[in-house]
Amino acid sequence: MKKLSINISLFFVLLTLSSCNDWLDEVKQTTTVSDEIIWQDETQVDKYVNSFYPLLHDYGQFGEAQFYGSFTESLTDAFKYGSYTLGHRAGHPNLYVLTPDAISPDNCLYSIWLRSTAYKQIRETNQFLSLQRKYSEFSADRNKLWEAQVRFFRAFVYFQLAKRHGGVILYDDLPVSTNKARSSAEETWQFIADDLDFAANNLPKEWDAANKGRITKGAAYALKSRAMLYAKRWQDAYDAANNVIALKLYGLTDKYEDAWKGNNKEAILEFDYDAANGPNHLFDRYYVPQCDGYDNGSTGTPTQEMVECYESKNGEKIDWTPWHGITDETPPYDQLEPRFAATVIYRGCTWKGKKMDCSLDGKNGVFMPYREQGTSYGKTTTGYFLRKLLDETLTDVKNGKSAQPWVEIRYAEVLLNKAEAAYRLNKIGEAQSAMNEVRARVKVNLPGKSSTGEAWFKDYRNERKVELAYEGHLFWDMRRWELAHIEYNNYRTHGFKIIGATNTYEYVDCDGQDRKFIKKLYVLPVPSEELKNNSLIEQYDEWK
């Protein structure tokens, strides 16, 4: 997929993303252009469709929609925000894992139900489709291309709702009343599948050069392969993944660190940025270490639990027990497989030309015990910093903006989706093959796994956690597997307090109290505002 700096033209919504691309030339928002006039001009309709593309940014790791900017990985054992003062990318994730009873119908920052968020976005897609039916006199083929893109985005937003709630209110047209009941989970997933099927059947495998970056047939199948795992519709997930593979357009990048940078054969669906002209993002400001010249970065960092998920370069499990105390022995970082160094900044590695300390008395990367201060101010509470997704070419983090692309779906995920679906369908050979293809990436080159049954699924879970680290999957995976209440209860995250002068590594508790996950969080509540304004809606049983 070629890189495309997307410029967004807006008609009915006001976004902060600007425009500068050939197929997204800016159109000034105006109240004088009627709906009917827009539908007389093919170029204007194209730009109307373009206004939905920022949803990829909004729900990606560089956006705010999933968890008000925080990583949902912070609700797992893999990531730790260093602040206890409440706020986004700060104390709220810690509050939710340490005191989950704080989550309620009126207080859940990773709920998107409100009509100012997800349902506003769904209304906008339905408004497009309604106006298209009313005014468009373009050819059937042209109409289908527009409709397919917009229905993809409607499915994309409904997927975000369904993975949180299961059955939700379904709208396939503009609502005539605020009162409408929830549909079942099965009906909701079918609605999503239908929209994605329409998109896949009517979108091209590839667009011409002027339209590179638009939603493709492969993107629709790929999202369906993801969504149907949540729906537990294994055959549909398996078929959708195979449909992506059959296109023979995608593959794995040789280097793992290139996989999320976009503009390559692994990127099936991406959103691109333009640092100078926009759209752009400030992701790096939130996560770079202090030595990058910005004092308010490093809001969250990888945990020791995440580090211990990485196998050795020979595919063996490392015994970390010698470092679960105090020792002057250097951890076996140099023995870990390549995806570790591409994901995590650790003591002794090089970051932007600097050798990192990650220690209490460090110059390049400073450790701070959790709760020593209200906020972490560019320091690490785990002894590590995030590397993955950061733009290593961005030298002026304080004043600059990033153009690092967001890759929403990449080919490695599709292979893993196929592996999981095949396992559920008792196609263990295909499951092994698909997962092992990911492990065999040229510059990763790990031996394949030949395990079966529950042992294979345990291997698969670890492989998915490592391969898709910090791309927004782990928390939702653990919920859909219904393992969060088992593995994310009564545990704490850990890290290393490093004394550089003596090269001492002290295994430390990074939470100070046990984390919890209560079962009712498998279904998020209907917000009180919806219950108040919709006489037909009922609260989920878990929250009555």
Per-residue pLDDT of the chain (544 residues; tens, 9 = 90+): 333 334 343 333 333 333 333 333 333 333 335 788 999 999 999 999 999 999 999 999 999 999 999 999 999 999 999 999 999 999 999 999 999 999 999 999 999 998 678 999 999 999 999 999 999 999 999 999 999 999 999 999 999 999 999 999 999 999 888 999 999 999 999 999 999 999 999 999 999 999 999 999 999 999 999 999 999 999 999 999 999 999 999 999 999 999 999 999 999 999 999 999 999 999 999 999 999 989 899 999 999 999 999 999 999 999 999 999 999 999 999 999 999 999 999 999 999 999 999 999 999 999 999 999 999 989 999 999 999 999 999 999 999 899 999 999 999 999 999 999 999 999 999 999 999 999 999 999 999 999 999 999 999 999 999 999 999 999 999 999 999 999 999 999 999 999 999 999 999 999 999 999 999 999 999 999 999 999 999 999 999 9
Count other C-beta atoms under 10 Å from residue 204's C-beta.
14
**Token representation of residue 53:** 């593309």
**Token representation of residue 414:** 């599709």
Are the beta carbons of 71 and 62 closer than 8 angstroms? no
- Residue 126 carries which DSSP code? H
| Burial group, residue 153, by CB count within 10 angstroms (0-12, 13-18, 19+) | buried
| pLDDT tens for each residue of 403-459 | 999 999 999 999 999 999 999 999 999 999 999 999 999 999 999 999 999 999 999
Q: Which residues are 515's β-sheet partners?
A: 491
Dihedral class, residue 282 (left if φ above 0, else alpha if ψ from -120 to 50, else beta): alpha
Cα(22)–Cα(35) distance, integer angstroms: 23
| pLDDT tens for each residue of 9-63 | 333 333 333 333 333 333 333 333 578 899 999 999 999 999 999 999 999 999 9
Q: Closest Cα to residue 70, out of 56, 55, 86?
A: 86
Residue 268, CA distances (Å) to 3, 34, 466 in order: 12, 35, 20
Residue showing tokens 């807006």: 10
Cα(11)–Cα(124) distance, integer angstroms: 10
| pLDDT tens for each residue of 438-449 | 999 999 999 999
Whole-prediction pTM value? 0.94
H-helix or E-strand containing 99? none
